[in-house]
């Protein structure tokens, strides 16, 4: 898709993309990648849990409204 905005190709001058050259794990402090991975996983689990509880309470409220009018 070509647009007339004038930005053109947003790749860096050297032609490498962010995903092309990931940093090696040797240059990072020990445990940083594991901590971020666990933190991201726990955030997803928390969001899914809250969504599940919201769905349960919505279903119970809807059922109560249908039964008790």
- Kindly report the number of other CB atoms within 10 A of residue 64's CB atom: 10
d(CA 32, CA 43): 16
pTM: 0.47
Residue 35 has pLDDT above 60, yes or no: yes
Q: Which two tokens stand for residue 18?
A: 């962010």
Residue 9 has pLDDT above 80, yes or no: no
d(CA 47, CA 53): 10
Question: Residue 49: what are its φ and ψ, rounded to 5°?
Answer: -65, -45
Long-range pairs for 45-54: beta carbons < 8 A, 24 or more residues apart: none
Strand, helix or coil for residue 59: helix
């Amino acid at each position: 898709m070509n647009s007339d905005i004038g930005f053109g190709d947003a790749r860096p001058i050297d032609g490498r993309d962010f995903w092309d050259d990931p940093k090696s794990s040797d240059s990072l402090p020990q445990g940083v990648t594991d901590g971020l991975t666990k933190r991201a996983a726990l955030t997803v689990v928390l969001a899914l849990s809250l969504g599940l509880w919201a769905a349960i309470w919505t279903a119970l409220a809807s059922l109560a409204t249908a039964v008790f009018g």
